[in-house]
Amino acid sequence: MTPTLHPPHPVARPGRWIALSALALAVLLVTVDATVLGLATPYISAELRPSGTQLLWIGDVYSFVLAGLLVSMGSLGDRIGRKRLLLVGATAFGLVSVLNAFAPTAELMIVARALLGIAGATLMPATLALIRNLFEDPRERSLAIGIWGAAGSGGMAVGPVLGGVLLEHFWWGSVFLINVPVMAVLVLVGIVTLPESRDPNPGPWDLISVGLSMSGMLGVVYAIKEITAHGPSWGALAAAVIGAAGLAGFVRRQLVLERPLLNMRLFADRAFSGAVLADLMAILGLAGLTYFLSQFFQLVQGRGPLEAGLAELPAVLGAVVGGLLAGRAARAMSVRVAVAGGLAAVGLSLAVLTAVSRDTGYPFLGSLLLIVGFGAGMAFTVTADVILSTVHPDQAGAASAVSEMAHELGAALGIAVLGSIVTGAYRAFPAPPGTPGSARESLGGAVDAAPRLTPESAGALLDAARAAFVDGLSLAAGAGAVILLAAAVASWFFLDER
């Protein structure tokens, strides 16, 4: 195993904690943006009238593009400067958020989300890489990563509550406009407090590798999405072949380049590979489920957007506590126990969630969400520390990009795979005569169509649609539980006792 690289006498950088606040602000904003989308989905569905497939694209195209570009952008930050890339990305993120807020059609909304993914790809690797260079002492870095993770979890808390307040009083686009003032603050604080850091001898930014990475990631993810949603097709097969060829070409090119975008030899370290694998599998098992949970609270149980946002707070509070305690837990018990134990707790909670029904009480759901949040916060904070501690500071951007790519790719696949399970189960519900086709595309479509039917038909439609949605949610929870428990087993074997 590659030894952890720390200087023998770490030098504390002045102002590092103030700089950390700017980095935490960046990750907080990105998670706010991801969580408010779930609350806004019923409103977007009612106004833009997307098909079921378009609705999934609105939910996951951001993560698709983000995952496809993270390695390239992390390597670019190593070359041009991580602070510079962060500030440029923050500015672009704010501007593109305006386009998201005023998108007039489902098609333009998908495009706007994709552009937001491009801007977001410049933010996440830069934040973790700057932490790696700001905090050389292992204990301080563990705490800093815990605070960074807690900020992300805090964004998950702020997002639903703030989004709920906005949706109670304004139109759905307002949830994207909140990005603008926050990004403005980030840019101003970052200019003053963040130090610049880069690889002193990076080599050229290889555009061929960028193209191979992007085409490979998008091709494979698109193929998986299409196959899970519609079954095998020639288009999905072609995308899979193109994606696999792109990824194979990317890996081969990185192995022969003198200064690659991503040092593939990092994966020879079992701890590095195990942490990346655990992140990807865990997010895959969680993301699709959490994407539909907001719809469950609103469209099935009849909660308002603010109440639905507050209902998700236990998961966030658990994640904040788990993230802040992660470093201490890893030192007291070992990395292996902290990660595998956290993921196992999440998996078992999802297994219990398969018993969900329309009338499930909130104390039961809130308790499960608290455990899910704590386990996830513990595991993800420790894996992020493992990934950063196994590389030289000059490669922090690329390593951080790998960590974030695992998260975003897992989120995209989770929405595609588990989301398709929910959608597939939902579309099979017995609809009363006269039900428009849009009602079978999504639960939001059924709620929107109900007022145009007779009261008797509307009641039958909503009962059947909600029951089918809950059945799909239960199936997705079961699939997520299997994935999380498999991730716990894999992390136990890959991670060591350090």
> For residue range 79-117, what is the model confidence (pLDDT) as tens digits?
788 888 888 888 999 899 899 889 888 889 899 988 988
Q: What rounded mean pLDDT belongs to the chain?
A: 79
- The answer to whether the CB of 434 falls within 8 A of the CB of 456 is no
Structure tokens of 316? Answer: 């966030």
From 137-146, 235-244, 341-350, 452-461, the region with the lowest mean pLDDT = 137-146
Q: Percent of the chain at pLDDT above 70?
A: 87
Tell me what pLDDT residue 408 has.
Answer: 66
333: Cα separation from own chain's centroid: 28
Residue 258 has pLDDT above 70, yes or no: yes
Fold adopted by 16-196+261-494: Growth Hormone; Chain: A; (1.20.1250)
- The answer to whether the CB of 387 falls within 8 A of the CB of 399 is yes
From 51-65, 91-105, 203-217, 231-245, the region with the lowest mean pLDDT = 51-65
Structure tokens of 123? Answer: 């933010």
What would the mean pLDDT of 371-375 be, rounded to a whole number?
A: 89
- The answer to whether the CB of 86 falls within 8 A of the CB of 22 is no
What would the mean pLDDT of 122-135 be, rounded to a whole number?
A: 76
What would the mean pLDDT of 55-77 be, rounded to a whole number?
A: 77
397: Cα separation from own chain's centroid: 18
Tell me what pLDDT residue 488 has.
Answer: 92
Residue 7 has pLDDT above 60, yes or no: no
- Compute the radius of gyration of the chain from its Cα atoms: 22
Interacting residues of 144 by C-beta distance below 8 A, sequence separation 6+: 16, 20, 131, 134, 135
Residue 365 has pLDDT above 70, yes or no: yes
Helix axes 313-333, 138-169, angle to 10 degrees: 170
Tell me what pLDDT residue 393 has.
Answer: 65
What would the mean pLDDT of 200-226 be, rounded to a whole number?
A: 79
Structure tokens of 115? Answer: 């552009």
Q: Could you give the CA distance from residue 411 to residue 439 in angstroms, rounded to a whole number? A: 26
Residue 459 has pLDDT above 50, yes or no: yes
Range from 48-52, 81-85, 258-262 that averages highest in pLDDT: 81-85
Query: Which amino acid is located at 443 in the chain?
Result: L
Structure confidence at residue 238 as a pLDDT band (50, 70, 90): very high
Residue 207 has pLDDT above 50, yes or no: yes
Tell me what pLDDT residue 154 has.
Answer: 64
Structure confidence at residue 348 as a pLDDT band (50, 70, 90): very high
Query: Which position has the higher pLDDT, 170 or 30?
Result: 170
Quote the pTM value: 0.72
Q: Could you give the CA distance from residue 224 to residue 232 in angstroms, rounded to a whole number? A: 9
Query: Which position has the higher pLDDT, 396 or 460?
Result: 460
Structure confidence at residue 485 as a pLDDT band (50, 70, 90): very high
Tell me what pLDDT residue 155 has.
Answer: 66
Residue 416 has pLDDT above 50, yes or no: yes
Query: Which position has the higher pLDDT, 392 or 12?
Result: 392
Tell me what pLDDT residue 12 has.
Answer: 59
From 177-186, 386-395, 448-457, the region with the lowest mean pLDDT = 386-395
Q: Could you give the CA distance from residue 225 to residue 64 in angstroms, rounded to a whole number? A: 11
Range from 53-67, 352-366, 420-434, 449-463 that averages highest in pLDDT: 352-366
Interacting residues of 9 by C-beta distance below 8 A, sequence separation 6+: none
